[in-house]
Each structure stands twice: as structure tokens, then as C-alpha cells.
Chain A
Amino acid sequence: NPTTANGLGTDTQDTPGIACPACTFHNDPFMIQCEICGAELQDAESVAFLLDRQQQHQRSISQLPSTIDSPSPPSSTLSTGTNQVSDSNALKTTGGNKFMPSLSSFYTRTASGNGSSKQSPEDANSVKLSFRAGGNGNFHTLLRAALAARVWDSKPKKRVAESSTALPSTTALETAQAAPSIKVGGISGIMRTVETNKKATDETLSQAFQDLQGLMDKAAEMVALAETISNRLAKSNTMDSEETVTFKTYLLSMGITSPVTKDTAGAVFHKELARELVEFILPIVEREGGTMSLMDIYCVFNRARGVELISPKDLHTACQMFQDLNLPLRLRKFDSGLLVIQTMARYSDDEVSSTISKRIQNLPPGAGLTAVELASAIQISVALAQDQLLMAESRGLICRDESVEGLRFFDNLFAKWEI
């Protein structure tokens, strides 16, 4: 392998390029595959030569400052190269070692696929032609003539007619037509593959969004349907039949079918909103143990309303009307500023107080209860627990102990003590 350690300039001069064995295109000497047709350019020997040259090139670059005393000798293979290089170069050859596997594996890969149609089917919308030793002028003239005559307009018809008449011989022809096997290699081929993939992804995405759009359309239809059904139910008087009730619960779980809006209710908007809210939220509040913070209710309620969202102020105003409207829920503001909605039936002050009182009485003798302990015991917020304790205290059920350790509540022994 004729190489010199002097530099790259001589190499490029010595080797004018590699002619493709398939299409005769003169490729750059660094190419392994033909730039035009993708055919394999070099045999094993020339690849080894290429490897060596690249390695040497690297070495010469890394050696640049210290090449004076030890010019690296030419080497045909990697092993001989490493044997001959001095210790100072040992480190640099590892760079070549690193480079080696990737290139050699590339070589083996292309070698194994040799001969077979290894390339993926490419987009056949373009053809790249290369001319050697003239002929391009003639071709160009012919091409222009064909373009001007629009030969492709008439040809397909003729082909279809041919294939339909000559039945026995068409199978091979048809398959060939169905899958045009024009192979496009090189950089343009890669670019085309990337473009094809991108196009496919775009298509998939747009299909997916089409589905989404369809879903949204369907949802709007569903809401409209639910609305009509609920309207029909409201008009009919068979409200108490079991089926109707069940059906209404289904409708309810889908959301609020015809939410009260400022447009529909006008001046009595807040009153109507309060009624709707109670109707919707009462089972939820009861399930949550009788107390829910206004914030939670705001989220749950607005989610059920879907698109007809209400503002926190509207909700607050509506909640303040519970008492006037004689609804079974109450808005309660604790001293801490916490706003909660409570059911009247299951969450009366009496019940809470007596529950707390019982809880404290069941503690071991001499033990008290803090708001934090109560909060963690019955899964409520500390602020709420504190307020409940104070409420029980104000009812004379428990009494407080203020000390450096904080506020602790005890059973009200003063009321029971006999002295």
C-alpha cells in the first residue's frame, strides 16, 4: 500500500477517485459506497488501505507539534503500526483504535449485504443520472422532447390496455409496475428517506388530530343529546319511576346537563346557582364526611359544569344564600378565615362537639388533645380541628390547658367535680 507519512496532499494526488463498478461514477477516494447508486466501491483490501490511511491521517494531526525526531513509519495494518510507533505515540494510536471498530463494522455490514437488494425501497420520484465521456447533450434533447410531448399522459392507458388483453404474461409486469424498484442511493437517497419518514409522521399526526377533532365533535353532540333528554324528562311527569331515576344519575355523573348561566337565569342567577350547587354537591359533601372547603367545591363544581364555568365570587355569593333559600347546606367561615360548606343534617355543631368530647373522654387519664392530634386522627385540617375544639369548648364540654407546650384540651372535669 503506497502511503507516505508526509501528509494528505500526495494521497489525493495519487488516487484520482474510485470508479463505481456498477455505474462507473467517479467517487471520492474516501467513499465506501457509491454516491450515486449506493453500490459497494471497495474490496476488503482497499478498505484496509483506507483504514490505514485514515489512521495515519489522525496520527499526523496529533503529532504535528512533535514530528521532528520521530516521523511515524508507514503501516499497512493496525498491528504493525502500533508495533512501530514510539511510546510517545502510544496514546495517540488509541485514538486510531477507537476509530477502527466503527469503520470495520461498517465494512462488514456492507460486505454481508453485498449483491442482494439491501436498500430500502426509496421514493422513486426522482432519478439521478451521471454521464461519463459525453452523451449528456443528446439525452437532454431527448428528455426535453419527451417533456414537451407529455408522453406520460398517453402511456399509462396503453399499458393498462396491454395488461388487460395479454393476461398470461402480465403478472410479472404488473408486480414490477406495482413496486417500482428504482434504487436511489447516496446522500440524496438518505435525504429522501428522511423526508419520507417525516411525511409519514406528519400524516400520522394529522390523522391523530383528526380523531381528536372527531371526539370533540362527538362530545358536543353528546352534551346536546343529554340536554334534550333531560329536557324531555323534566317535561314528562314520570319522574319517580326507577328507570328515570337511574337514568338521571347517569346524566348527573356525566356532568351538569343544563348549567345555570347568567344568560338563562338573569337576575336570579345566584339563587338558581345556589340551588343547582346544593343539588349537585350535597351527596359529595356527605360522602366527604360533611365538610368540604370552598376551594374543593369550586373545583368539583366547575368540572361538572364543563364549559359554563363560574367565578369564585359567584360561588361565594351563591353559598351565602343557602340560609335564605332554606337549603340543607351552610357556608361557614372559621376564625382563621377558612371557608367551608357543611351539611346541616349530618354535621351539626352538637354532633361534632359530642364526638370530640367522647374522643377526649376516651383518652387515658390525665391526657389532653391538641388540634394537631385531632386533625391527624380524624383526617381534617388543623385549622378546622382547632375551630371544632374551640366550639366544643364554648359549649362547656371540654376545657383548655395553656402551657409552654401549647394549647391542650381536656375533658371538662370542673362540671363534674364534687367538692
Chain B
Amino acid sequence: MSQAASNAALGLSQSPALASGFQFPSIHNFPPFYTLQPTASTWNNQADLWGTIIMRYYRHHRLYQLDLDDSLTNEQLFNNQRINRKLKPEAIQAIVDEMVKKGDAEWDATSQKRRAIIYWRKPEDWAAMISSWVFESGLNNSILTYYEIAHGENSEDQEFYNIHATVLQKTMDVLVKRGVAATFQGANFEEMGVKFFNAGA
């Protein structure tokens, strides 16, 4: 609350919450927020703020992929019709670049910086979450497909439900590296299998 109070003192109006229940911080209504700041220190702060807002937005909406060509994603986040400002694609790229540096995002190598995965939760955190779920459900020592983890009946109430394939693969890579699980090649990505060992966790 103290943060909100001190931010409010800076004189920006608060946007109403979105239909999804997400509320942008009032800095989202600050016109210079939509201009790439040429001063390095200012830009660092600006990119940090954008990164945080993007992560919050993606977490709230359980989104994983940022697509510069997907207007639907950009409509609310990067386009503020209230103050008639819009973040340009170059600025978004620059912001994601900053996020990539911090490990909060990763460009899709084939997309030429048009698509990126936003890690609003780190693969390590996902790994811990999935493995604990596996052990709690007694699914260890049996082979699970990626599909079962991401879209299966058992994981419906889990936070990683509908997890993005790339994020899932990263998570599995972390688990394999730790020696907690082993992966098995499948016909396609969804048929890939994974087996969690007892000794883990």
C-alpha cells in the first residue's frame, strides 16, 4: 500500500482494471513510458518497469509467448488508448532484449526477434512445481507424456496447465540435468515422455 501511495503522489491517474481483472500500474499512463528514452540510466529504469509490467500481465493471463505480430496481445499492453500512446515494435524489441539479458525472456531463434517467450516463472521454478506435483500425485516411476503434464486431466488445476511447449521443454531440461527425470523421444513433441525417479525431490 505504501508503494501505491508514493506512486500516486507522482501525479498519474490510475487506469480502471481490465475485464480480466488485471490492473496496470499508473505508470502505464505516463506518456514518456512509450518513448524509448535516449538517456541510459533513464532507459534502464524504463525497461525494468516495462519488463515487470509485461511479466505481471503475462502471469495474470497465463501467457507465455510475446508475438510482435499478434495485435491481440499488444492491444492492451503496448497500446494505451487512454493517453493515445503506443509502444513501437522497435521499443518492444529493445525491452525484450533487456529482459533476455536478465533471463526473463528468450527470443525464438527462428523468428528474427518477432516472437519471444516470457519467463514470468523461471524454468527452475516450474521444475520444482512440476516435480512436486508428480510426487504428490504418485506419478513418479511411471512415464508421463508432455501432453499429460501440460494438458492432462490431472494437471487441470495446476498452475502449469497449458504451459507453453518451449517452457515445458526448458523445464524438463532442468530436471534432466538435475538427474531427477529422464526424457524419452516420442513421435512428436506432445508424445515425448518423461520419467521421474524416486530418488529425486
Interface residue A417 (Cβ < 8 Å from any Cβ of B): yes
**CA of A396 to CA of B6, assembled, Å:** 20
Q: How far is the CB of A367 from chain B (nearest CB, A)?
A: 9
Q: Tell me how far the C-beta of B117 lies from the nearest C-beta in chain A, rounded to whole angstroms.
A: 22
Confirm or deny: A157 has a beta carbon within 8 angstroms of a beta carbon on chain B.
Answer: no
B39 within 8 A of A: yes
Which chain A residues (361-408) contact chain B, with CB distance < 8 Å? 364-366, 368, 393-396, 399-403, 408
Q: CB < 8 Å: which of A399, A401, A418 contacts B7? A: A418
Stretch at the interface among B27-35, B71-79, B178-186, B187-195: B27-35
Cβ contacts B1-24/A at 8 Å (1 or 0 each): 001001100111100000000000
Does any Cβ of A come within 8 Å of B41's Cβ?
Answer: yes
Considering the complex, give the chain A residue whose CB is closest to the CB of B4.
Answer: A418
A320 within 8 A of B: no
* Cβ distance A64 to chain B, nearest Cβ, rounded Å: 84
Q: CB within 8 A of A399: which of B6, B37, B84?
A: B37
Q: How far is the CB of B149 from chain A (nearest CB, A)?
A: 32
Number of interface residues of A (CB under 8 A): 24
Q: Establish whether residues A415 and B41, one from each chain, have CB atoms under 8 Å apart when the complex forms.
A: yes
User: Complex: how many Å from CA A402 to CA B35?
Assistant: 6
Q: Is the CB of A419 within 8 A of B3?
A: yes
Name 17 extra pairs, CB < 8 A, besides A414-B49, A417-B27, A417-B45.
A366-B31, A396-B41, A399-B32, A399-B35, A399-B37, A400-B32, A401-B32, A401-B35, A401-B85, A412-B42, A414-B32, A414-B33, A414-B42, A416-B6, A417-B7, A418-B6, A419-B3
Judge whether B39 and A413 touch: CB under 8 Å.
Answer: no
How many angstroms from the CA of A208 to the CA of B22 in the assembled complex?
A: 90
Chain B interface residue count: which class? 20 to 34
**B38 contacts A393, CB within 8 Å?**
yes
On chain B, the residues within 8 Å of A410 by CB distance are: 30-32
Closest chain B CB from A402 CB (angstroms): 4
CA–CA, A401 and B30, complex, Å: 9
Distance of A283 Cα from B163 Cα, bound (Å): 72
**Main SS of the interface on chain B?**
helix
Chain B 107-138 residues near chain A, CB threshold 8 A: none
Known: A396-B42, A414-B45. A403 touches B10 (CB 8 A): no
Provide the bound-state CA to CA distance between A232 and B10, in Å: 64
- Cβ-closest chain B residue relative to A394: B39
- List residues of B whose CB falls within 8 A of some A CB: 3, 6-7, 10-13, 25, 27, 29-35, 37-39, 41-42, 45-46, 48-49, 52-53, 84-85
**Contact of A408 with B31 in the complex, beta carbons under 8 Å:** yes
Taking CB atoms, residues of chain A closer than 8 Å to B27 are 413-414, 417, 419
Residue ID in chain A nearest B11 by CB atoms:
A365
Q: 10 shortest A-B CB distances, which residue pairs?
A: A365-B11, A414-B45, A401-B31, A401-B32, A399-B32, A402-B35, A396-B41, A418-B3, A414-B46, A410-B32
- A35 CB, min distance to chain B CBs, angstroms: 93
Closest CB in chain A relative to B55 CB, distance in Å: 10
Q: Would A415 and B7 be within 8 Å (CB), given that A399-B32, A400-B32 are in contact?
A: no
6 contacting pairs across A/B (C-beta < 8 A): A368-B32, A399-B46, A403-B84, A410-B31, A414-B27, A419-B48
Q: Of A394, A413, A415, A419, which contacts B30 at CB under 8 A? A: A413
Residue among B32, B35, B52, B84 facing the most chain A CB atoms (10 A cut-off): B32
- Measured in the bound complex, the distance between the Cα atoms of B85 and A208 in whole Å is 73
With A401-B31, A408-B31, A419-B49: A413-B38 Cβ-Cβ less than 8 Å: no
Give CA–CA (A185, B182) in the complex, Å: 139
Closest A residue to B35 by beta carbon equals A402
> Knowing A366-B13, A419-B49 touch, does A399 contact B3 (C-beta < 8 A)?
no
Residues in B with CB closer than 8 Å to A396 are: 39, 41-42
